[in-house]
Structure 1
Amino acid sequence: MKRILLTGGGTGGHIYPALAIARAVREKYPEIEIGYIGTDNGLESKIVPKEAGIQFFTVEIQGFKRSLSWENVNTVRKFIRAVSKSKEYIKKFQPDVVVGTGGYVSGPAVFAAHQMNIPTMIHEQNAILGLTTKFLSRFADVVAVSLEDTVKHLTSAKKVVYTGNPRATEVIRANGEQGRESLGVTASTPIVLIFGGSRGAKSINQAVLGMLPKLESLPGVRFIYITGEAHYQDITAKIKTSDYPNLDVRPFVYNMPDVLATTDLVVARAGASTLAELTALGIPSILIPSPYVTNNHQEANARVLEDQGAARLLLERDCNGENLWNAMEGLILDPEERKSMGEKARALGRPEAANQIVEELEKLVTANVHS
């Protein structure tokens, strides 16, 4: 492979898998040229340009409304223009293969590549297919999925491979000792990590505030509480941290893989990248799916782990201080149950996901060269 073009955006759940693929490809092909098609107003426009050696191209596109709406007429116009623009980028960049990792921005780029007879792969991170995956699965040469349960939904795809989420490959290289050092926690102290995604989650924050008085009953446990930067000022204004010596409140952590690698129990949303990390590392968890995402896919993701005994599910409507504390306390005081859950989580992990995706891309490129 000499050149690969990636596309995906909107949320970190689509962008980080694409970047994990980029790093895995570059590890095997150090001289490879990497391009990326995104939007100039999505999260990808802030994250991707910071990655060294990736050319960033932009198209204007928006998602379809699920209900009947005149706005969808404008969406179709933008899609057609974005397909045309993507073809211009493809002619200029000359990729050997195009990979989409979801979000509506990946639709026109992968469709354009298909029309130009360039090998394509799409990757679906969630248990329930997104609209873009549903559309592209009929055209892509390969559909890779994070969860085995997703395979049954892809009846119109040419080829489906269960690879796992490429984020898992990155997280297994994390350094737990460095994680503890960054937190200032001794090797023997159990760590409970609570976070609600990169932006934080108001419901989780409210539940944590409600259970704070209970922390003193487990003084030997360190609770690391990541509020999200948008919520940090509000939360810290409500907490007198000196009252809770075993609580560490932070707006964000930039070395999340290292911190996860040394964590004994996680409380989190059920985004695809989070679950890939938890299963790769074999971490027991309490999952509180966001009900505000498309098709309620986080709950479907979480139930995959719950059904295997790898996680406990706490629905947002039940997420208050008392219920969250009861769920946490039960697991903190039961190391054997945590161990069992961790082993079951690891059994679901796909730490070689990124490398397997690279192998599938090699097959696509080789088959195209020989056709």
Structure 2
Amino acid sequence: MKAPVFLLCIVLVSVGVVLKAQVSDFAHVDFRKADSVAALYPNHSLHDLRSLALKLTSPLPTDVEKFRAIYMWTCNNIENDYELYLKNKFERERLTTLEDLKAWNAKFNPTVFDALLNKHRTVCTGYAHLLRELCLRANLTCVIVDGYGRTAVANIGGKGIPNHSWSAVKFNGKWYLCDATWSSGAIDTEQGNFVKKYDASYFLAEPSLFVRNHYPLDSSWMLLKNKPTLAEFLNRPLTYTGIYSYEINQLSPETYRITALKGQPVLFQFKTNGEAPIRSVQLNISRAGNLRVAHPKPYLTSEGLYSVQHTFTSKGAYQVQVLLNAAYAFSYAVEIH
């Protein structure tokens, strides 16, 4: 498996606008066979990618099932390397230009790919590269997309730092988005390790949801007609996998940092396009290390928005996480005056 000179580059591929390119396009496909094929080859060597690609795809009849087997194998057999993650994060936060970033990637990539090849451990560029290389050997079209990933510790306001890579794959003339890194599990920054847990939210994701925490350097890879600006992306509420479960495209307030007055209710609103009803809303409200939980009753407005409100009785800075049916969905930083 040959590593490219650098991974953070703008991919020159014709994209076009694709609306609603998501996993629901394949609602008729039963992915259980693809998943079972992927499970047949735990810890398979990466020294012969052609052999692995053929094992994963030859038993399957359609391109989307073949990609599913490759994706599931990658997510379940490759770990996010915490030490490499920290090193990459530290260096990227010091960079100021794309030229500096390309130079860092050229220096760092040999380490990334050595860990991937020999330890089955890597960072986001390794996940995206492996998907592309396995797809190439299975005659599937898959490319690497580079840009800004938004988490609780990255790209909150400011000018933003290109810090993430994910994938786009093409079926029947349409492009689809996915992120094997985030599907594979999550970095626990408090414990200093990687927690492996497959998350289906980032497999062939709805573009209007995906763009809430993935912003490509080449805006055509949003696969959207109406595209947010980078500033809008960096200042939106933080979102989690709950927005995918309930297809939440509309949030209010639409900025992460909000201000309000002590003793006056703060209104949080959202609109869901999913079929699952919102039975409960939980607010995790933290301030100076103290956590308080509230369970406001949601109500529907005439515009079809779910609404909840909370009144803060003390001045100060709060973090508010909103859980829907016990699933983390979005969060705000609230300053009470």
| TM-score interval (norm. to shorter) | under 0.3
Task: Give TM-score, length-normalised by structure 1.
Answer: 0.26
Higher helix proportion: 1
The normalised TM-score by structure 2 is 0.28
